[in-house]
Structure 1
C-alpha cells in the first residue's frame, strides 16, 4: 500500500517508470498534508492561553475541527491507493482479448467501466477535499496565531490537491462518449474549483491581515 511506504520509497516509486503511483496518488498525499497541517494548528491551540479564553462554543468548535482533521488524514490517504487501483483496472481492461466479437464486447464494457472508475476516484477526492476547506478557515480564525502561516500553507496545499484531482478527472473524460455525462461532470468540476478558489482566497486574506 502506497500510504505505508516511507517517504523516500514513495518518492522513489513516483520518480520511476512505474505506472503507479502517479499524479492522482500525489494529489491525495498533498491533500493529506493539508489536513495534517490543519490538525497541527489545532493541536498547538488546544490548552493554550488564547484557547482557554474562548467561549464554550468556540472551544467546542476547535475541538470538533481537530477531530475532523485527524479523520480526514485517513480519508485522503486512502485515496492514494484508490487512485492506483482505478488506474490499473483501466489498464487491465485494455489488455483483454480483442479478437472475437464477444471478446470485443467484454473488453469495451470493461474499458468503459475502467474510465468511469478512473474519473470518479479523483472527482470524489476533489469533493472530499472541498468539504474539508471550512476547517482550514476555522484554523485561520481560531488557531494559534504563532502558526497561522501553517494554516495558510494547508490552504494552498488543499487547493493544489483539488486542482490536480480535477485535472485527472478531465483526462479520463476523454474515454466518455456521452456528451451529456461529460457536460455534467465538467460543470461539477467547475463548481468545485470555483468554491475551492473562494475558500483559498478567504484563507489567504485572513493570513495576510494577521501578518501585516
Structure 2
C-alpha cells in the first residue's frame, strides 16, 4: 500500500477498513479512535481558554492543550506505523516451514508488531488522564464531549490491547511475552476504570443525578 492512511479522507479510510485486506485493521482503528478521543479533549480546551469563568484554570488548560496535541499527533502517526509493521509479519508467515530462518524472522517480526499497539496504549492512557482533568477544569457547556472522549479512549485502549495479545500468544520468548502482557494488563486495570468513571460522572451530570 503506497498511500498514507492518515492522509486519506474519512470515507476512504472506512472503505479501506471494510475491504478484504489486512491493513488498516484493528490496530490502526484503535490508534485513530484514540486520536479522536484526545481531539475531543482539545476541543473542550479551545472553548475554555480566554473565558473569564475559567480564568483560574487558564494556565492548566493551555498546558493540557499542548499535551493533547502531542498525543494526537503521535496516535495519528501510529496508524501508519502499525500498518507498516504488519507487512514484515505477513511476509514472515509466508516463509516455508522447512526454512531454518523462519522461526527467527517470525519471532523478530512478531515482537516488532507488538511495539505499535503498546505505544498506542501508553498514549491513550495519557489522553484519559487529560480528559479527567479537562472534565474538572474545562467548560461545563462541553462536558458531554469529555464523556464521549472517555468512551472512545477506553474502547481504543482495549482494542489496542487485543493487538498485543494476538501477537504475544505466539512468541517463543515467553519471558518477553509475559513482561509485555503484564505491562498491558497494568494499563488496562488502571485506566479502563478511570475512563469509565469519567463517563459516569458526565452521564450523572447530564441526567441530573449529581
Match of 1:47 in 2: 50
Partner of 2:7: 4
Distance 2:36 2:100 in 1: 42
Distance 2:186 2:93 in 1: 32
Correspondence for 1:206 among 184, 201, 208: 201
RMSD: 1.5
Give 2:41's match in structure 1, choosing from 38, 43, 56: 38
Once residues 171 and 98 of structure 1 are traced to their aligned partners in structure 2, the CA distance between those partners, rounded to angstroms, is 20
Deviations 1:43-65 (A, max 9, x none): 0111123123x1xxx32111100
Q: 2:105 and 2:178 mapped to 1: Cα distance?
A: 22
- TM-score (norm: length of structure 2): 0.91
Unaligned runs of 5+ in 1: none
Report the Cα distance in structure 2 between the residues aligned to 1:69 and 1:45, rounded to whole angstroms. Answer: 14
Q: Which consecutive segments of 4 or more residues in structure 1 shift more than 4 A?
A: none
The 5 Å alignment of 1:129-168 reads: 129-168=124-163
Structure 2 residue runs without a partner (length 5+): none
Q: Distance in 1 between matches of 2:103 and 2:196?
A: 43
Range with greater deviation from structure 2 (196-205 or 136-145):
196-205
> Partners in 1 of 2:195 and 2:137 — Cα distance?
17
Q: TM-score, normalised on structure 1?
A: 0.90
Asked whether the 8 Å contact 1:141–1:206 carries over to 2, the reply is no
1:128 corresponds to 2:131:
no
